[in-house]
Amino acid sequence: VQLVESGGGSVQAGGSLRLSCSASGYTFRPHNMAWFRQAPGKEREAVASIYTGGAGTCYADSVKGRFTISQDRAKRTIYLQMDRLKPEDTAMYYCAAAPHWSACAEVKPSGFDSWGQGTQVTVS
């Protein structure tokens, strides 16, 4: 699975950005797709995930109520709408895919086998 992210950039606190991740190169659709982020000196953390076969979603507590993950199956694309951004949201954001859905508490980098190159989000 090849994943290509876009939509990152710089924004002032309180602003919004929408990230996109287009998937290609697969025969069987990965059932779990997610956004992770990694700030300098910190571990990669899960932000949000979505079950591509339905409507199930998971969110990190730090982004609940501010971020929304969604998908367009026809376009093989997932999105991350980020509103009310905070400086602590500054990080490299990565799209990831896994063949199987996992419970929210189990959404971890080790469970995903395909990764995009990342897109930088900077909030000042």
Asked whether the predicted pLDDT for residue 26 surpasses 90, the reply is no
* In the chain, % of residues over pLDDT 90: 81
Provide mean pLDDT across the span 76-102: 96
pLDDT of residue 55: 79
In this prediction, residues 67-91 reach a mean pLDDT of 96
pLDDT higher than threshold 90 for residue 2: yes
SS in 3 state form for the chain? Answer: CEEEEECCEEECCCCCEEEEEEEECCCCCCCEEEEEEECCCCCCEEEEEEECCCCCEEECCCCCCCEEEEEEHHHCEEEEEECCCCHHHCEEEEEEEECCCCCHHHCCHHHCCEECCCEEEEEC
53 has a pLDDT exceeding 80: yes
Query: For 34-46, what is the mean pLDDT?
Result: 97
